[in-house]
Structure 1
Amino acid sequence: VVLSQYNKCASLRCFCQGANSYGQLGQGHVEDQASPRLSNIAALQNRAVRAISGGGGHSVVITESGEVFVCGQNNRGQLGLGRNTEISTLQHCPVLNRRVTSVACGWDFTLLLTDCGQLLACGSNAFGQLGVGQAVTHSAELLVVESLKEPIVSVAAGLRHSLAVTGSGCVYQWGTGLFSYAKRALSPHAVPSHLTSKVPSLVPGNINCTELHRVTAGAAHCVCLTEDGDLFLWGSNKHSQLTTTEPFLSSPTLLKRSLLDGEKVINVWSGWTHIVAQTESGRVFTWGRGIYGQLGRQVLFNQDTEQQSAGPGAEGRSQEVGLPAEVKDLHGATQISCGSEHNLAIVGGCLFSWGWNEHGMCGDGSQANVFHPQLVPGLRPLLIGCGAGHSMAKMCSVSSSW
């Protein structure tokens, strides 16, 4: 989203909160912050910002002019700076005469999409998530994903896998992050090639016969939104995020529009184990895992499946029935962003947060999980973004509306 409101700003400010072990909040230190605190954005020099995003321990800012600024964890080269040292304030990342329009951050890798549809990647390639083949284990230099010959219009990064949509409506997937889920669920049958490939592999199915809008990814699931407002889902269904009884879907499967009261979807976002979708009337639906409050609403539980779904150490927890339901407090949201298990939204110009809060990423000064969207007082952001365990909000210090 390009924000024309920046033209009215005297100066930009960035407030961040949450996990900061690697300096991903850009505040010049490595202490977690449970309340919003100003970040050092001197490097931006009041440039208008197009997008902000984060991974497991790093943050990326894209300016309206297509420049890239980064900070945080860099042990696998995910900052694209040509070296592996961590930095705790934003630093310019040279992108060689390319204009970057969007970014997707995985756990320890970064994907950058340019205005000509070229895809650049850096960071860990341990699971083939960079799409450059298995010879590269990690890269601190930005690499071109050469095998994608068509211009890319949307890109997504999961925990250890990646997705891209081409201008002709094809979906590609790479990275082996879903392989173990698929092998268990599909045995004795072979795992399809798009779930095992370390270079972009065409995703099979009817999804390639429609006009595609964008992709998003969870830790082990995939989502694609069409221009007609339909959602296709595939991957792991461990937390009912695919709204099916099957444990795993190897190919894209249409989400029944009746589950969203018959409405078309205009945007979709994904955390690691939950999905958030907004319909044409402005309603917001959530589904998937909800034990940390990441669904923003009351959920139903099935005590019989709590151990097998939540895994070791999950005593006392239970697994929700994962059908989409509306979060009325988010109606009319103008922006939404998902971290691993927490979320931000702008509603009526105000910032709301909910979900996992162990590192204070919900910005309420505590570390208690937040089960319903709550107002983060005093902040009226223009742009929001999440990392796995941190939150970022851009705003201007002078605005005609405040």
Structure 2
Amino acid sequence: MMEVKSEEKDESNERLWSWGAGTDGQLGNGQLQDEQIPQQLSLSSHSHISSLACGAAHVIALTSGGKVLSWGRGNSGQLGHGEVVSNMLYPKAVTSLDEHFITHVSAGWSHSGFVSDTGSLFTCGDGSFGQLGHGDYASHSSPIKVSFFVDQQVAGVACGMRHSLVLLKGCLLNQVYGFGSGKRGQLGVSKDRIKSINLPKVISGFEDVEIVGIAANGDHSAALSVDGHLFTWGRGFKGFEDSHIPQSLNSTLKFTKATLGWNHGLAMTGEGEVYMLGGNHLGVLSDLHSVCQANQLTDSREANLEKVPGLDGTKVTDIATGAEHSVLVTDNGEIKTWGWGEHGQLGLGDADDRTSPVTVRVGYDLDEAASTRVYCGSGFTFALTKF
């Protein structure tokens, strides 16, 4: 996930819901089962949650006080609790980070990343592809500082399936780095095919652009520039070849946020419109070939961008993508989902797939909420609401 952020100061009254795949405890409700409708979680013992990051089957929560909680699958040490556990059913503090004020977190398939207010990067979990960035292929069950960036200021981290991206502060020439698995070009560090690297390497192509956000999921990578241009690299979206170096989307649209799934992505404009990249298989909204023919688009990278239908001009305020499902929030507080529904991750009371956005009922009138943010793991969904 990446976006141009605006700080939220309201911590008055929060509500957190989860639904979808839950057999690893990733829903945080103490159960090891899928849930097809939103389940409200108790926040009484947690300080104010400011954001979440969801991986394959684990969740990382960041509090407004810079503390970190995690839960769900922990078989690779991705929870950061200092031990390898099959699962953690409830949120548990990552105490080894207590002496740091954490400002950003990211969750990959089975690894995790944490950024402190002093610009330090910590990683833990599966390191078998070099995705932890420590110069080896070892795994760690506690967050370890990435020494490569000890003299630099890290602004953000994005964890994909088996690779990681890092964005630096105030460093226009060498802004974005990649490490981990690179077989589909997702590292963006070389035109040549790279199996994996275990130390961060700079991604070229951003010398004349200021990057403000990065995203990674599956074998995809993306970056967002300060003026709203979207760059993608890695595994090609439906019908298109892999790209080993960042490619700018040929569009006049200015994007403020972009998220990636396994076969698709979402991009949101400053006007609250949402567009979909790819959409292979279950995440597809309509037939891409017919859309391209109808629009008579000649540039393949522009042809792969499709406006999400059925919103009738409603402004969208947030977006999220799972492996094969998508979620958005409208400015009137509605949460809408579509795509793969096998585990109940659409929150619609069944396990059916949907090809267009459908409203989720959480039992509250979210129109009165000050803000609603959504987050997706591979097959599950969270919504965080502040009233």
- Contact kept in structure 2, 1:286 and 1:327, CA below 8 Å: yes
- TM-aligned CA distance change 1:99 to 1:21, over 3 Å: same
Identify the structure with the greater strand proportion: 2
Alignment of 1:326 with 2:307, yes or no, is yes
**C-alpha distance in structure 2 between counterparts of 1:99 and 1:164, whole Å:** 18
Name the structure 2 match of 1:230.
229
SS of alignment partner, residue 147 of structure 1: helix
- Contact kept in structure 2, 1:263 and 1:280, CA below 8 Å: no
Name the structure 2 match of 1:374.
358
**C-alpha distance in structure 2 between counterparts of 1:48 and 1:383, whole Å:** 14
- Contact kept in structure 2, 1:28 and 1:40, CA below 8 Å: no
Deviation of 1:50 after TM superposition, in Å, equals: 1.3
Deviation of 1:59 after TM superposition, in Å, equals: 0.9
- Contact kept in structure 1, 2:288 and 2:304, CA below 8 Å: no
Deviating above 6 A after TM superposition, structure 1's stretches of 4 or more consecutive aligned residues are none
SS of alignment partner, residue 73 of structure 1: strand
Name the structure 1 match of 2:329.
346
- Contact kept in structure 1, 2:179 and 2:196, CA below 8 Å: yes
**C-alpha distance in structure 2 between counterparts of 1:41 and 1:22, whole Å:** 20
Alignment of 1:30 with 2:32, yes or no, is yes
| Equivalent residues in 2 for 1:3-402, closer than 5 Å | 3-7=8-12, 9=13, 12-44=14-46, 47-85=47-85, 86-94=87-95, 95-136=97-138, 138-148=139-149, 149-167=151-169, 168-169=171-172, 170-176=175-181, 178-179=182-183, 181-182=184-185, 190-191=192-193, 196-205=196-205, 207-237=206-236, 239-240=238-239, 245=240, 247-257=241-251, 262-292=252-282, 294-295=283-284, 297-301=285-289, 323-330=304-311, 331-347=314-330, 348-377=332-361, 378-379=363-364, 380=366, 382-395=372-385, 399=387
- Contact kept in structure 1, 2:185 and 2:245, CA below 8 Å: no
**C-alpha distance in structure 1 between counterparts of 2:199 and 2:98, whole Å:** 23
Post-superposition Cα deviations, 1:279-336, rounded to whole Å, max 9, x if no partner, equal 23221110213321x25x323358xxxxxxxxxxxxxxxxxx9611111445421111
SS of alignment partner, residue 11 of structure 2: helix
SS of alignment partner, residue 80 of structure 2: coil
- TM-aligned CA distance change 1:281 to 1:238, over 3 Å: closer
Q: Percent identity?
A: 27
Name the structure 2 match of 1:317.
none
Name the structure 1 match of 2:298.
none
**C-alpha distance in structure 2 between counterparts of 1:299 and 1:150, whole Å:** 45
**C-alpha distance in structure 2 between counterparts of 1:254 and 1:42, whole Å:** 44
TM-score (norm 2): 0.85
- TM-aligned CA distance change 1:238 to 1:278, over 3 Å: closer
Deviation of 1:355 after TM superposition, in Å, equals: 1.3
- Contact kept in structure 2, 1:43 and 1:90, CA below 8 Å: no
Deviation of 1:40 after TM superposition, in Å, equals: 4.1
- Contact kept in structure 2, 1:273 and 1:289, CA below 8 Å: yes
**C-alpha distance in structure 1 between counterparts of 2:236 and 2:20, whole Å:** 28
Deviation of 1:264 after TM superposition, in Å, equals: 1.3
Name the structure 1 match of 2:299.
none
SS of alignment partner, residue 128 of structure 2: coil
Post-superposition Cα deviations, 1:345-379, rounded to whole Å, max 9, x if no partner, equal 11021211111111001101111111111111234
Post-superposition Cα deviations, 1:47-79, rounded to whole Å, max 9, x if no partner, equal 222111211111111111111111111011110
- Contact kept in structure 1, 2:237 and 2:277, CA below 8 Å: no
Size of the aligned set, in residue pairs, is 352
- Contact kept in structure 2, 1:273 and 1:340, CA below 8 Å: yes
**C-alpha distance in structure 1 between counterparts of 2:249 and 2:137, whole Å:** 37
**C-alpha distance in structure 2 between counterparts of 1:16 and 1:210, whole Å:** 37
